[in-house]
Amino acid sequence: MERELEVKLLGLDVKEFEEKLIDLGAELIAREYQKNITINSTLHPIDNKNKGYLRIRHTKDLINDEEYYYFTFKEQITNKGIRENLEHTIEFNSEEELLNILNCLGYDIYDAGYKSRVSYIYKKARFDIDTWDEKTYPFPYIEIEVENRDALEKIINELNIDSKAISTMSIAELKKSLKK
């Protein structure tokens, strides 16, 4: 289990922000292409807004030319000022068989999305620059993952990030906001 504290930065010029990170000496740690499948059930629905969600992630590591499959339950702790989740994750090797098992158990709602991710580390903060497929979410954004709230405040102040750009919405909530 991994504790995750993060926010999204919306509406920024991600290329400009990435150049700023590079100029500051941020370390490139990943270039990935991901397929993400969120899973729910008509029989045993998971309250995404208050409880969390199930996800299958197929990651293609573009730097090391490797592939990984992860199955995660993201347990939501809070989204007040910062998203705090506990990630319960296992690695597996057959997406088809895991989906078959889940379907047999009544987990029959699947929503797939595809994204490119470029990740940097700067002062112990992880910056993920996410670009989803047009159908999932058409606007690129940056996720900042930190060790604690103080670290987030310091990074926001240092990088002069406008508070209007900061969001605690999940990708599901962002998608839903587009439909309104």
Q: What is the CATH number of the domain that holds 159?
A: 2.40.320.10
Q: Judging by beta carbons within 10 Å of its beta carbon (0-12, 13-18, 19+), is residue 125 exposed, middle or buried?
A: buried
- Say yes or no to pLDDT of 49 above 90: no
DSSP 116-164: EEEEEEETTEEEEEEEE-TTT-SS-EEEEEESSHHHHHHHHHHTT--GG
pLDDT tens-digit series, residues 25-40: 999 999 999 999 999 9
CB proximity list for 178: less than 8 A, separation 6 or greater: 137, 138
The type of residue at 168 is T
More confident residue, 9 or 49: 9
- Say yes or no to pLDDT of 79 above 90: no
CB of 91 closer than 8 Å to CB of 13 = no
More confident residue, 50 or 145: 145
CB of 71 closer than 8 Å to CB of 90 = yes
Number of domains in the chain: 1
What pLDDT, on the 0 to 100 scale, is given for residue 157? 96
β-pair partners for 83: 6
- The token pair at 114 is 């595809």
Q: What angle do CA 102, 103, 104 make, to 5 degrees?
A: 90
Residue ranges making up the domain that contains 118 = 2-179
CB proximity list for 3: less than 8 A, separation 6 or greater: 84, 85, 86, 87
